[in-house]
Amino acid sequence: MECLPHLFYQRNNVTTIARQLIGKKLTTVLDGHVTSGLIVETEAYSFKEKGCHAFNNKLTNRNKVMFEAGGVAYVYLCYGIHSLLNVVTGQQGRAEAVLIRAIQPLAGQEFMLHRMKLKKLDRITSGPGKLTKALGITHSFNGSSVMGPNLFIDAGPNPHRHKIIATTRIGIDYAGADALLPWRFYLKDNEWVSKW
């Protein structure tokens, strides 16, 4: 399966890309261990709104990866505990990214369980902090390409006919009116979505 190309990410429309990433396949290959899952939930973030780390084009040491050209990973530590994975989009200098919030496991489930120290697959990748742990994604991925060799996204199975719901994003009440933007996308009726 071929990776999505640079051009997919380097469009200046982050909500369109967030919607189109639903149903795609996210894979990591680490030390020969392949783990992958179907992306079932995303959120879009843009410099134009307060929910974004790079609101108003504010450049910091943490968010500088967001200003790179689309197609790289922006991974940061949340609440001191969880690594969250974003895919940077847009052209260079345009700070936009898509947060991957949930996946449905497709391959390497046994190794995901090992990483999570769990015995049941039950919803182990239903949340942004959980899927990164299951796939072995840490801060060391920050700035690395999502077109391989360790991390990549391809079209996945059944690329057509996904019913996608658009709704408000989670956990950004501090963003005021911007918290009401319908920039969260998920696959309808999918049990791996983090929250309905």
Partner DNA sequence: TAGAGGATTGAT
Partner DNA sequence: TCAATCCTCTAC
Site residues for DNA per CB under 7 A: 43, 45, 51-53, 58, 60-63, 66, 74, 76-82, 84, 86, 97, 99, 127-130, 170-172, 174, 194
Pairing, β 33-46 against β 73-78: unpaired
Which CB sits closer to DNA, 159 or 171? Answer: 171
Beta pairing partners, 103: 39
Q: Which helix (H) or strand (E) holds 77?
A: strand 73-78
Which CB sits closer to DNA, 130 or 162? Answer: 130
Which CB sits closer to DNA, 43 or 68? Answer: 43
Taken as a whole, the chain contains a residue count of 196
State in angstroms the smallest separation of the CB of 190 from DNA: 16
State in angstroms the smallest separation of the CB of 92 from DNA: 17
State in angstroms the smallest separation of the CB of 128 from DNA: 5
Q: Which helix (H) or strand (E) holds 25?
A: strand 25-30
Structure tokens at 150: 């360790």
State in angstroms the smallest separation of the CB of 7 from DNA: 22
Which CB sits closer to DNA, 161 or 175? Answer: 175
State in angstroms the smallest separation of the CB of 49 from DNA: 10
d(CA 5, CA 153): 9
Which residues does 177 contact at the CB level (< 8 Å), separation at least 6?
A: none
Half-sphere exposure of 168 (CA within 13 A, CB side): 12
Which CB sits closer to DNA, 129 or 155? Answer: 129
